[in-house]
Structure 1
Amino acid sequence: MRAFRAGLLVGCLLVALCPPVEAEPGPSSRDVKKARQAVRDRSQDLSRTTAELVTAQSRLDELAAQVERLVEAYNGEVVRLRQAEEAYAQARARLTAADAEVELARRDVALLAAESYGGLGLMKPVVGMLVDRGGTDGFLHRAGVLGHLRGERSAILGRMRDAQEVAAILRAQAEGAYAARQAAAERARQAKIAAETAVAAQRRDTRELTARKESLQRQVDAARSRAELLARRRAAALAGLVTGGSTMGDAAANWALTQLGKPYVWAADGPETYDCSGLSMRAWEKAGVRLDHWTGTQWTAGPHVPLDQLRRGDLLFFAHTGDPSTIHHVGIYVGRGQMVHAPQTGDVVRVASIWRGDLVGATRPR
């Protein structure tokens, strides 16, 4: 009994002197450390993913610009081919008229030959002179008639010779116009092949890059806050871009905004699909201004406008080196630093910021 009491006393003393260890309140320092590491890892992943996304988008932009150059080169060759065809048609019309004149002259010459060699017409004065017994007056009269007929024969022959020379000149011009038309047709054919080849390659690369871009975008979106995601996805305020203005530029801009969402197709000019210069051509057509389906002539379709004086409907041009001769894209200014454009294969007509690194200037068609 005494031993039991002693043991109990020792136990109580141990409890009093050494209380049990309590659980650490809140997250442990290890948990905090792990959480902080997770934040750093997530931030690094986000940085890498964002960089990859920028690289993928840059490649897509490069492909789009390359294709646009070839597409616009094709559009330019089509314009030149149409001009060559018109020149050839005019040359053919002039040649046809000249050939008709030659034919008329040839008939007169044939009649002259028939009369001369058939013993008629011009031979009668000669025979008359040989048998004339009427004195000096009769002889002189017949000699005058013969001289007049010889002059008329010379005029007929001269008219035919002149008609033939004119026809020869016009035939050479027509042949030159035909050769120019054939050369233009061949250039257009080659430009079309180049554009089609580039578009096919772009489609292949775009499918792969777009899939990669979408995957990366999903990763970036997952790392963003809801507020950031909503800000990135916020659509252009269409209601704020459409105005009730009545100028030609307003008419072009407002019509272009009605085409949002329609697919980009190279060399297309509506009504269901467009390329960049096809959209701008149709927009200004609605305003009563005719443009070619080519950035090359759209750039010179009116005065160039300083970027700080833009008005709705002005055409914005983009080039690789800042040199207008390398223009590859056009958009339609709709206000608030925004434009409507048909961007590239696989995309649709959309609103975008005008402030790109390759913006080279603006034109106000008239």
Structure 2
Amino acid sequence: MHSAGTTPRPVRGVRRLKPVLTTLTALTVLTSLTAAGAVPATARPDPSAGDVAEARRAVDVREQRLSTAAAGLADARARLGGLVAAAERAVEAYNGERVRLAAAERAHLAAAERQRASDAHLAQARADVAALAAQSYGGVDLTRPMAAVVAAGGNGGMPGYLHQASVLHHLSGGRAEVLKRMRDAQEVATILRAQASTAYTERREASARAEAARTAAQAALDRQRAQTAAIEGQVRDFEDRLDQARSEADRLARERAAAQERAALQRDQATVGTVPAGGSGSGGSATGDLAADWALAQLGKPYVWAAAGPDTFDCSGLTMRAWERAGVRLDHWTGTQWTSGPHVPLDSLRRGDLLFFGRITSNPGDIHHVGMYIGKNMMVHAPQTGDVVRIAPMWRDDLVGATRPG
């Protein structure tokens, strides 16, 4: 947000002036940027063409290694597929054994219940036999039937004999039935006991099979997880190494390009010396030149969010440090840098002036980028993550205005 008297936003026709101006063309146009030696050389050693080529070769080598490893990784993934299938089979085998174990447990419980009922029936039959053995009828020992008949005949004559004989007949038949029930109960109990024993054995075996299946399934899953982790680790390792090589090669290429830009600027300054007055390439004040020269000395240093030097910068961190060298304090924020110093028309720019990009609203955060004017419609700025401090054309669709700190 700017106060009364500040420069209004330029019309689109002005902002679109020479929109396709490239950095290379701009460097050619920069034939006069202050006196010779105004752009100090960086202390960082500049990468040579051989350094860049060697870095590119390292990328090629790692790409070849990654390609060679791809076949091995494909085989490993195929083995992993087999391990997954084996694990699934082991898990389902365990599930099947659990079903069979549940059936065996039910069968064992049923057999045990039948055995308990049979044992109770046998116990009752044995009790009946024991009672029968001790029983007598009318003082007659049932174990001596003939003596009982004779005794009955002597006491009651023939009618008494017939009566006693009839009683003995029925008692003998009942005794036989009791004994038969006991023998039957014994046979049934023996059969059911054997069935219960068999069911118990089957339950134990089913339990052992289920436990073995569970162990096998867990082992298969562990192998699968270990193989998966190993394969993923190999892939990450290959990709990380390749990314590192590419990043290093890109960094060297950017630094070399920045070094070439610096060299071109130094040659142009040595040849021409000063720039003519005017908006497209006016000279700066002593403080503006000092700020611009210091900013140009940072060419090639990486952009890092929230950084303000000495080895990395973001956009407002670069401009803050540059004007700090000129004795002017700025905040590390485009929002307040936009209101620090008077706004100047874009056709009256001087070296060191700050160029702002974004939108002018009530929210200062909508101005999101700042660069420093260095002449001939060019600026030095820290662009974005993954890039470095570099020179670029000032004309962009989101250019909103300029200020002159002081």
Same fold (TM over 0.5): no
With the length of structure 1 as denominator, give the TM-score of the two structures: 0.44
Q: TM-score, normalised by structure 2?
A: 0.40
The higher radius of gyration belongs to: 2
